Each structure stands twice: as structure tokens, then as C-alpha cells.
Amino acid sequence: MPATKTRASRAALAMALVLLLGGIQPAAQGYVLNYTVAASGGCPQPNRFNTATAGIVDRRWSTSLSSSPQTVLTAATDPDARLNEIEQSILRSFAVWARVSGTSLVQESLGPLGRTTTQSACQLQDGLNTLCFNQSSSLFTGGVLAFTRVVTSDLVGEQPFPNSPPSAFIGEILDADILFRPNDSDIRFATPAALPAHPSAFDLESVLIHELGHLFGFSHSGLWRAIMFPFAPPRGTFAGERPTEQRPDAPLADDDRVGLRVLYPNPADIRLDAVNGGQIRGRVVPVNSAALSGLPETSPGRAVTGIFGAHVVAVDADTGEIIAGVLAGWSCDPASPPVRFDGSFALERLPLGRNYKIYVEPLDGPVSAASIQSAVQSLCRSDVPQPCTPPPVNTRFTLLVVP
């Protein structure tokens, strides 16, 4: 959904996971990020937590659970045991993201998981990162299973919530809440222990791991089998592999890990350059530049000079494995903002020692331009000294593969 201002120095956006009818089988994964433009203008900065502060993700969940019908199904029937079973799923889901190697988002970044009995505990004005299973919202339209609302800082040094540290950078996540669809007899969620007995339910951890990706700064992925793919896996199934002690981030593939390393780089990890320091940069432009004529000016001197919104994917040429995917179309010079819609892309933090092939595709399949609209809109602001407006995502190009 497009970002909207909650007040002069904070931006809020919401991202939803929806049900894809037809049971499409996923095949690959990718990442796209959300951004914030400062209140004074400038280049868009990625949304992320300030992991320099231990326990910065102040997390809790509401134990208010709808009972008729039940939103969350558990194997346990005792009330206290039910809550413990749900809480273990929440903890495992957080651990999936916090245990990716080579990032600054680590287990110490997460505060203790608290509980609240408040039904409508997911409020964007408290600086707490809350999960709610029994809170209604107008955003639960159509097949939306769950959504995440994120508030970011567009002013360094603001302190909007009591007892919270002042924001350290543009794009710092100040508050993020996750809401699951409540009170719907057709859409229910099951813990791993309860899922075999309830094959028509959605796997709680699959949906939650996806929503936590939004909470940490991701938009939706344009590639299948992404944990950030905007459509849920079929009912009764888990997205990928269950996490284990040996592979705590097992639901994630290389591209998910690549995206997290881009979002939360760890300069202290000396292995990073030797293992995951690869970069591939370029531009996506049409063979005939006349194809771009007639597109609107986005701001003075910022005409569209490349294909905006193309999906660029890095593939291991030897194994066929998809390593990472990004949304192409723009660049920004800090000395001369706002963004230029020149078709630029950057694939970063790629594993070294591999041969890569790059391919480009339009977002005209199950994942459409609407699925990544929050990422597109977050590149620009109209109320800053250097305003701009993103051009339409280009889905009308075709590819010619030559030797």
C-alpha cells in the first residue's frame, strides 16, 4: 500500500500477505526493500532497525485470542499450554531472521518477548513491536491473511515515544506491528503441532516469518518461493523447510539471506568480503530509446531514461540456483537528489566463487506492480525541496535472448 504520513516527521506503511487461489507451486526467491525520504529531502534510505542498540526490537504479543471461531489452532487444549505453544512459534519465527550469518541483526537485537492481555494492542503510537490475533482492521479486505504496519523516522534525533532512544538515521524503524486476520471461520492459523490435524488451516510460522520480514524492512519479492512472496503457501503446508538447531534459518534461501545482509550489513564480520562480498551493477534500458518517449517527467531534469520496475535476477550458471533478485529502475546521487529513473540496479552481498547469469523480467505474472507498490512509492516525496513522483512500473517490455 502507498505510504501515508502520520505526522511531519514519521511515515507509516502497511504490507499484507494474501491468499493466492489455485495453489501455485513456488520455484525461487528474491528481495525488495522499503525506503524513507528525509523530511528535508535527499536520497531514499532503507528502512531498518538501529541494531547498534541491543534489544532495540521491543517485542510483545497479545494473548487475546478469538474463540468463536478460533483464530489460532493448537495441539494443546489447556489455556496456559495453548499460550506457550503459540509463544514458541513466535520465538522460532524471530530466530529464523536473527540467525542469518554475516548480518548485524542478531539475537541480541531482540528484546524479551513480553505478553499483554489487551485486545487492540497493535497501536502505532507506542514504540512497541506487537503481534495481534484478535484485532480488527479495515485493511483485512479480500484474501488478506495478515499485514504489518511500520513507522519510520524521516528526521534524525526525534523521540516520538517515551523512554525510546532518539532516532539515529533516516529510515530507522520506530514502531512496527503485525496483525493476523481474526474472527474468520474460513481463514485460521495452526501451530506446527496442530497443522497435521487441521489441513485447511494456514501454517502460523510461514505467515509470521513472512510478516517479520516486513517488520525488519522488506517489501514483497517478485520471485516464487520467496519467504517475502506476497502470496501464502497452500493451506496445510509450510513455506520451505522447518528451522532446526543445525539450520535455524532453514526457511530462507540464499537470496533471503542476501537481502538481509544488504539491509543489515555487519562490518565487523571479517569473513563477509571473502564469502559474501560480490556485487553486480548495471542498467536496464530498451534497445530503442524511443520506447521511453512520452513518459511523464518525474521532476525537473529527472526524465525516465531506463526501464523502471524491471525484475533483475542473479542465477548460479552452474547449478541453476536463483541467488538474488532486485527491483531495477533508479539511482540517486546524494549530491544531486532526488532519484533518477535511469534503469539502474545493484545486486550486492552475493556469494563469491560462483559464475552468475543475469536475467530480467517484467512484473506481469502472479506478482504484479501492485504487489511492490509500497517499495515504489517510498522512493519519492512530494512535500520536500526536491520532490519527485515515481513513473509507472514498466511491464510492457519483451526480451530477446541472443547468444
Label each residue of the chain as H, E or C. Answer: CCCEEEECCEEEEEEEEECCCCCCCCCCCCCCECEECCCCCCCCEECECCCCCCCCECEEEECCCCECCECEECCCCCHHHHHHHHHHHHHHHHHHHHCCCCECCCHHHECCCEEECCCCCCCCCCCCEEEECCCCCCCCCCCEEEEEEEEEECCCCCCCCCCCCCCCCCCEEEEEEEEECCCCCCCCEECCCCHHHCCCCEEHHHHHHHHHHHHHCECCCCCCCCCCCCECCCCCCCCCCCCCCCCCCCCCCHHHHHHHHHHCECCCCCCHHHHHCEEEEEECCCCCHHHHCCCCCCCCCCCCCCCCCCEEEEEECCCCCEEEEEECCCECCCCCCCCECCCEEEEEEECCCCCEEEEEECCECCCEHHHHHHHHHCCCCCCCCCCCCCCCCCCCCCCCCCC
Q: What is the pTM of this model?
A: 0.90
23, part of any domain? yes
Predicted confidence (pLDDT) per residue in 34-64, tens digit: 999 999 999 999 999 999 999 999 999 999 9
Q: Domain residues for 211?
A: 4-231
| Per-residue model confidence as pLDDT tens digits over 146-184 | 999 999 999 999 888 887 889 999 999 999 999 999 999
Residue 293 lies in a domain: no
- Kindly tell me if the per-residue pLDDT of 21 is higher than 70: no
Residue 118: what pLDDT? Answer: 97
- 95 located within any domain: yes
37, part of any domain: yes
**Residue 401 falls inside a structural domain:** no
Per-residue model confidence (pLDDT) at position 7 = 33
How many domains, in total, are found in the chain?
Answer: 1
130-156 average pLDDT score:
94
pLDDT tens sequence across 102-119: 899 999 999 999 999 999
**Does residue 28 lie in a domain region?**
yes
Residue 305: inside a domain = no
Q: What is the pLDDT of residue 162?
A: 81
Is residue 178 assigned to a domain? yes
